[in-house]
Amino acid sequence: METQSEERIEIGRETEPGAGLSGTKSSAIVEGINIVRTFKMGEVEVRALRGVTVSIRRGEFVAIMGPSGSGKTTLLNQLGILDTPTSGKVIVDSIDTSTLSDREKGKFRLYNLGYVFQDYALLPELTASENVYISLMMQGKSKAEYESSAAEILTAVGLGDRLSQLPSKMSGGQQQRVSIARALAHSPRVLFADEPCANLDSQTSKEVLDLFKKFNTELGQTIVMVTHEDWHAAYTDRVIRLKDGMLEQ
Ligand code: ADP
Ligand code: MG
């Protein structure tokens, strides 16, 4: 079982950049099947997700929306394999992630998935370039390879002139663009973003959403983004609406 799972993860490792984008656009790349996530707080049970079934197609840009506390972050964390559902399962690119050990999940995330968070989550003592290439380094790429990949993707997000700048010397919008570059550096099959514009003004939010849209339309990057701003929905192909831990309607 262990060996079998390892092999399947290795498939992700051997593929060429963007290989996760192969196949027809209509095929599912992420499937959440009847996901329940309950948090136990002493005697109290919080039912954050009460049986959610969703399917994200390859190349789609999907928004997850709903009121505060409706379960958006919890759902994103299940689909992004950052958390384990109480019941139900998540299938990513035909791999049933419930069969993976924690170690295998870590490796699967490193090679196949990318994340953007509202607080950027950059390492403050590392430069923009170092923040971006750290995951490529962990994948065992050569120094020349990871440095040039970082420069290339930072240029693509408009920060080609700030490779050696520290996050503390950058605006919020610039830091978020570094985190987008980091999330995309290894050509993930799916990019997950949790309220990526929550700390940004509307002009800077627009720039970040334009970037997502560009990577989605030009590279076919699959994106799943949590947001509570209605105007963000216009950038996406589809909205998944949550209410009280369930799909709305
Ligand atoms: P949203 O992102 O839509 O605001 P969340 O997914 O963060 O909502 O939370 C959904 C519900 O689950 C809320 O009631 C929240 O308090 C609860 N919840 C989320 N994470 C935890 C946790 N780690 N422990 C306990 N309760 C949690
Ligand atoms: Mg949230």
**Residues with C-beta less than 6 Å from any ligand 1 atom:** 39, 41, 46, 48, 66, 68-74
pLDDT at residue 12, rounded to an integer:
43
The parent domain of residue 202 ranges over: 4-13+27-244
Report if residue 21 sits inside a domain: no
Report if residue 22 sits inside a domain: no
Ligand sitting nearest the alpha carbon of 67 = 1
Residues around ion ligand 2, judged by CB within 5 A, are 72-73
pLDDT at residue 22, rounded to an integer:
46
The Cα–Cα gap between 168 and 96 comes to 40
Torsions phi, psi of 16, nearest 5? -70, 155
Q: What is the pLDDT of residues 18-74, one digit of tens each?
A: 444 444 556 999 999 999 999 999 999 999 999 999 999 999 999 999 999 999 999
Which long-range contacts link 199-206 to residues 24+ away (Cβ below 8 Å)? 199/118, 199/119, 199/172, 200/172, 200/173, 200/176, 204/171, 204/172, 204/173, 204/176, 205/229, 205/232
Report the separation in Å between the CA atom of 46 and the middle of ligand 1, taken as the mean of its atom positions. 8
Report the separation in Å between the CA atom of 78 and the middle of ligand 2, taken as the mean of its atom positions. 13
Neighbours of 140 (CB within 10 A): 9
Report the nearest atom of ligand 1 relative to the CA of 70.
Answer: 3
Report if residue 20 sits inside a domain: no
Q: What is the pLDDT of residues 79-116, one digit of tens each?
A: 999 999 999 999 999 999 999 999 999 999 999 999 99
The Cα–Cα gap between 21 and 188 comes to 9
Report the separation in Å between the CA atom of 118 and the middle of ligand 2, taken as the mean of its atom positions. 9
Report if residue 249 sits inside a domain: no
Protein residue whose Cα sits closest to atom 10 of ligand 1:
71
Protein residue whose Cα sits closest to atom 15 of ligand 1:
69
Q: What is the pLDDT of residues 180-211, one digit of tens each?
A: 999 999 999 999 999 999 999 999 999 999 99
Q: What is the pLDDT of residues 136-161, one digit of tens each?
A: 999 999 999 999 999 999 999 999 99
Report the separation in Å between the CA atom of 224 and the middle of ligand 2, taken as the mean of its atom positions. 13
Report if residue 220 sits inside a domain: yes
Report the separation in Å between the CA atom of 100 and the middle of ligand 2, taken as the mean of its atom positions. 26
pLDDT at residue 13, rounded to an integer:
40
Query: What CATH number has the domain bearing residue 83?
Result: 3.40.50.300
Give yes or no for residue 244 having a pLDDT over 90. Answer: yes
pLDDT at residue 249, rounded to an integer:
76
Neighbours of 38 (CB within 10 A): 14
Report if residue 19 sits inside a domain: no
For the CA atoms of the chain, what is the radius of gyration? 18
The Cα–Cα gap between 181 and 196 comes to 13
Report if residue 94 sits inside a domain: yes
Q: How many domains does the chain have?
A: 1
pLDDT at residue 159, rounded to an integer:
97
Report the nearest atom of ligand 1 relative to the CA of 194.
Answer: 2
Report if residue 165 sits inside a domain: yes
pLDDT at residue 25, rounded to an integer:
53
